Amino acid sequence: MSASKYQHPEATPRPDEASPAGGASPAERTLDEIRAAAWLKVLLFFLFALVLIGGTVRITHSGLSIPEWPIIYYGPEKTKPSLLPPFTEQGWETAHKTYHSEVIDLGVHGDPRTMQTFKREFKLEYSHRFTAAVVSILFLALIVQTIRKPVLRRRIGVLIGVSAAVLFAQIVLGGVVVKTHTPALSVSYHLGMAFIYIGMILWMALRLGRPEGTPLPPRPSRHTWLAWMAAAVCFLQIFSGGLVANTEAGRSYNTWPLMAESLIPPANAMWQSHFEPAILNLVENKILVQWTHRWFAFIVAAAVILLVVRLVTSPLSPFGRWMARASVFVLVTQILLGIVTLLEAVQPWILGIAHLGVGLILFLILLGLVYELKTNVAVYEYETASVPASKPGKESRLEVQAASLS
């Protein structure tokens, strides 16, 4: 269905997207916008890599191989601080000894590591921190460009400011996670905040992908709320998955669809009395955490499928149609990956990382659909033209509009 068929008289630009006086043509993007959009896409790539590396760090229990943050100490009693990894065997020995004295010997984290295992875990954690530093530098460069360029200040200035605050909070939370020896709930918050930040970067890239002054509908599509709901339940499921991974609840039952030969485990297993306060069952009871994650997935599936069914006849843009179709494929892939990961008890760990990565892709696709429905004039005009004829005693909206134009 062609988008150009629907040209509603109310489809005027919103104030925040209006073309500036003497500015660029509404049909064209400035070079500054094109460059910033490309920069945001590069940033998205590094953020995606950062999430996957972070997931690998968590699954392999490598997070505490560097027990200090952000400094690494190579001398006794926290002397010889550095931001770089060891380059000598003596440096590795010192780092290894620090790890055992601050983590293993205190009973915080597992069994003693051999030097070979320690080196592997250290390199994983260091790569996570290094990638996070690259993301921060890229984002700082984007902030500087936004401050310098008026068109960028108009279009993404507010979003840049909010996302900068989110990134700062994320960095602080990352330090807290290390300092408090990676508690499950804090790590899940860290993951959830990362998804929020990535979503904001995507939103800015999408906004800069539309020429300034491009007409927007007077109001979003009536299905926008459903797209928001699908993205929200997807986010909650990802947070729930973080709890499953961080508490290792995925290893409590490795059968599907039954748990302990039933769909719902016994009540005394689902809500255990030894958790104080009892509300901790929601985040620490491995049986309840796994059961919640299993069945909440069907709520996500229902929301995504309902959204796609509602959009079948809508005149989405080519990219919008691609996102709608891709969301179903990614959803099915994610569910199958989740089942296989569960049955294999997260062995090999690459299954868990793939599950995390596909979940992030689904979340970003759903956010993309939200933006599509908020900004697509053709969808609004199609929905307006599809209003039923007048009911008894009432004029239809189309008749009212026709009368007002005559």
- 192-206 pLDDT, tens per residue? 899 999 999 999 999
Question: Which string of b and e fits 4-30 if b means at least 16 CB within 10 Å?
Answer: eebebeebeeeeebbeeeeebeeeebb
Least confidently predicted of 32-41, 134-143, 349-358? 349-358
- Of the two residues 333 and 185, the one the predictor is more confident about is 333
- Of the two residues 88 and 162, the one the predictor is more confident about is 162
pLDDT at 24 over 60: no
Residues 6 or more apart whose Cβ sits within 8 Å of residue 156: 36, 146, 204, 207, 208
Place of tokens 């690259």: 134
**What is the pLDDT confidence band of residue 109, given thresholds at 50, 70 and 90?**
low
Q: Output phi, psi for 4, to 5 deg.
A: -70, -15
Give the integer Cα–Cα distance in Å for 103 and 106.
5
Per-residue model confidence as pLDDT tens digits over 120-134: 888 888 898 899 899
Pull the structure tokens for residue 22.
């003497």
Residues 6 or more apart whose Cβ sits within 8 Å of residue 325: 308
Give the integer Cα–Cα distance in Å for 302 and 289.
21
- The percent of residues in the chain predicted with pLDDT above 90, rounded, is 35
Residue 183 identity (one-letter amino acid): P
pLDDT at 349 over 80: no
Q: Distance of alpha carbon 8 from its chain centroid, rounded?
A: 35
pLDDT of residue 224: 94
Average pLDDT, integer, range 67-83: 72
- Of the two residues 15 and 214, the one the predictor is more confident about is 214
Least confidently predicted of 68-82, 120-134, 237-251? 68-82
pLDDT of residue 44: 95
Domain coordinates of the chain in residue numbers?
Answer: 29-214, 219-383
CB neighbours of residue 100 within 10 Å: 14
Q: Whose CA is closest to 6, among 321, 311, 389, 382?
A: 382
Q: What is the pTM of this model?
A: 0.81
* 125, 126, 372 from 92: Cα distances, Å: 14, 13, 51
By the 8 A CB rule, do 318 and 308 touch?
no
Per-residue model confidence as pLDDT tens digits over 217-227: 888 999 999 99
- Of the two residues 104 and 402, the one the predictor is more confident about is 104
